[in-house]
Amino acid sequence: MSEPKDLSYILTHLGEDRAQYFDAVIPPIVQSAMFAHPNVATMRTRVADEFSSHVYTRGQNPTVEIVAKKIAALEGAEAALMFGSGAAAMAAAALSVLRAGDEVLCVDKPYAWTRTLVKSHLQRFGVNGRLLDARDPAEVEAAITDQTRLIILESPNSLTFEQQDLVAIARIARARGIFTLLDNSFATPLGQSAIELGIDLVAHSATKYLNGHSDVLAGVVAGSEKLIRDLFHGPYMTLGAILSPHDAWLLLRGLRTLPVRLKQIAETTDTVLRYLERHPKVARVHSPWAQSYSQFGLTQQQLRHGSGLLSIELKADRVEQVDQFVDRLDRFLIAASWGGYESLVFPVAGVRNWPSLDFPASVPVGLIRFSIGLESSDVLIADLEQAFQAI
């Protein structure tokens, strides 16, 4: 699988028309709600194609467009739209292709709010949602009915890292005119080129690696110009879950260093993973690169490089030992989310009774997820070791 075309050009120059803004190296934050037209005729032309013009910032905004162009190019997609969060991106993408009476098939352990979208919100509008394991493409094929209009994938997922065979599922869906939507947040466009593999719409929580500094919520949907235009004229303009110009500018700043951050994080995570795999107090390590991982063939087929996410299950009889271990950690902040410069720990036991969260029962209650940041592996391993000693 090929790397996105000329990564350096995309991250440093693509979409940046510096002559438009005093040859400034860094683009301005165009903090303007609307754009003025020199005359009525120009206004008429611009509103006729708002997707390609500047009319109102709920539509297109020059600062936001720079980020969208770069992420589309990284994904090898014709176009992309930015959203105020990854959850908004997933929901808008689904709404843009679904109608009442349709059915959506979705992986059974997606991001929690994707699950809530499929299991409760869409049902209210007459869209039946069905969850399935999806590790076997034949299971997906067998689940398809005449009503199936969309297949929602997340490969790998962000807790236990199951993958789907994207080529096989895309082929099955395309042959029947069914849309595919992939949450590609884990891999990033650098790690997995889903459009090239046949997926129609690729979404990200740009809050995670794309921004990488834990200071912005953002989402993106990339795909063909046709699908992205439909999305624009549908849920994008009507729901208005946009990314602000200021947040787009911060995201652009984070995106510049994506390749170096990911390289460093993948290297550190590999060292931490090998340490955890050998540890006598660890019952199981979950990662697409773990020795015990059952889908390593797909890791080699679909993923270009490592990531900073991995989970463990302790050799412990009581959930309280999970609490003790996690509380003991000093260099890992206890927090949801992932993909930033800082290492985090997320114990599933800590969120099991989050009232609004629909957590799949198949995720082990003792699961502890780590998001490895930019600290050195020595520092992180020393911290893990002292916490293991304490239980």
Ligand X SMILES: *Cc1c(COP(=O)(O)O)cnc(C)c1O
Q: Strands, DSSP E only, in 67-171?
A: 79-83, 103-107, 128-132, 148-154
Pick the piece of the chain touching ligand X (CB under 6 A) from 80-88, 165-173, 259-267, 363-371.
80-88
State which residue, 61 or 155, has the beta carbon closest to ligand X: 155
Residue 313 interacting with ligand X (CB under 6 A): no
Residue 366 interacting with ligand X (CB under 6 A): no
Structural tokens at position 49: 């194609």
Residue at token pair 């999305």:
231
State which residue, 217 or 384, has the beta carbon closest to ligand X: 217
Residue 247 interacting with ligand X (CB under 6 A): no
How near is the Cβ of 215 to ligand X at its closest, in Å? 12
Structural tokens at position 59: 């539509």
Residue 255 interacting with ligand X (CB under 6 A): no
Least Cα distance to 292 among 274, 304, 265 occurs for 274
Pick the piece of the chain touching ligand X (CB under 6 A) from 83-91, 98-106, 323-331, 377-385.
83-91
Residue 158 interacting with ligand X (CB under 6 A): yes
The CA distance from 197 to 163, in Å, is 14
The CA distance from 57 to 242, in Å, is 9
Q: Which of 66, 67, 87, 367 binds ligand X (CB under 6 A)?
A: 87
Please tell me the count of residues contacting ligand X according to CB under 6 A: 13
What 3-state DSSP class applies to 201? strand
CB atoms within 10 A of CB 269: 24
State which residue, 258 or 387, has the beta carbon closest to ligand X: 258
Residue 111 interacting with ligand X (CB under 6 A): yes
Residue 288 interacting with ligand X (CB under 6 A): no
- Listing from the earlier edge strand, what are the strands of the sheet with 309-314? 282-286, 309-314, 368-371, 344-347, 333-334
Q: Which of residues 172-201 bind ligand X (CB under 6 A)?
A: 183, 185
Residue 163 interacting with ligand X (CB under 6 A): no
How near is the Cβ of 337 to ligand X at its closest, in Å? 6
Residue 342 sits at φ, ψ, to 5 deg, of -110, 145
The DSSP string of 157-194 is -SSS-----HHHHHHHHHHTT-EEEEE-TTTHHHH--T
How near is the Cβ of 6 to ligand X at its closest, in Å? 28
Q: Which of 205, 211, 264, 269 binds ligand X (CB under 6 A)?
A: 205
Residue 324 sits at φ, ψ, to 5 deg, of -60, -45
What 3-state DSSP class applies to 387? helix
Residue 106 interacting with ligand X (CB under 6 A): no
Q: Which of 170, 202, 217, 241 binds ligand X (CB under 6 A)?
A: 217
Q: List residues binding ligand X (CB under 6 A).
A: 85-87, 111, 154, 158, 183, 185, 205, 207-208, 217, 219
